[in-house]
Amino acid sequence: MLLVSRFLNAIVPFNLGVLLSRFQIKNGCIYGVCSYKSSKFTPSYEESKARVLNALNILSKHQIWQSNQESVTKIKGTFVFILENDLHLDENAFYKKLLNLLIDNDFFNRSHLVTPSNGTNSHPELHRSITPREATRIQSFSDDYIFYGNKTSVCKQIGNAVPPLLALALGKAILKSARNDTNPSR
């Protein structure tokens, strides 16, 4: 979120960047809502890994998708790929790709599915993708929240959802800012 915020602030006409910087919401992980994988080389990696594993390990019964051997092999190698990319992160390439998505209006129109295809939704210890229930827990949805539809529809809903704790934090920041704008003496 920090890189995205810096990117959005660099684009003058882009109002969301101004909004995010004004309310000083720069990192959803502060609120327990991470939308990216932290590298093993950052100090808080072990702490975030423990939180995610705790969330995954105490879930009630939920369907775990069976993976074939080819999927397991792909998932096993994914984390090495992510770590190598983290080591050689080119911010300019990141910004250019994000800018192209925004210019093409593809970023807001694209559906974001919960799939293991790029390793972002793979279980951190088991060689399988996370289940929809595990994905909702990671995003701070309560265990009694129900998504309706077939597997693809549920994954699409989860992938496109705004995490409740992030929405709460944004709402509080907006209210706080609005109160300060209407009454400068506060």
User: Considering the domain boundaries, does residue 48 fall inside one?
Assistant: no
The reply to whether 143 falls in a domain is yes
Could you tell me if residue 19 is inside a domain?
no
Residue 182 lies in a domain: no
184, part of any domain: no
Residues 6+ apart with CB under 8 A from 40: 83
Q: How many domains does the chain have?
A: 1
Task: Fill in the amino acid letter for 120.
Answer: T
Q: What is the maximum span of the chain, computed from C-alpha positions, in angstroms?
A: 64
Asked if residue 179 is part of any domain, the answer here is no
Q: Tell me, rounded to whole angstroms, the distance of Cα 71 from its chain centroid.
A: 22
* Secondary structure (3-state) at 129: strand
Tokens encoding 30: 């502060």
Alpha carbon distance, N-terminus to C-terminus of the chain:
29
- Model pTM? 0.40
What does the pLDDT profile of the chain (186 residues) look like in tens digits?
444 445 444 544 444 444 444 444 445 554 444 544 444 444 454 555 445 555 555 554 455 555 555 555 554 544 444 444 444 445 556 556 655 655 555 545 554 555 555 455 666 666 677 788 888 888 888 888 888 888 888 888 888 888 899 999 999 999 988 888 766 555
* 174 token code pair: 């907006």
The domain containing residue 71 runs over which residues? 63-162
Q: What is the C-alpha radius of gyration for the chain, rounded to an integer number of angstroms?
A: 18
155 within 8 A of 117, measured Cβ to Cβ: no
Within a domain: 78: yes
User: Is 34 inside a domain boundary?
Assistant: no
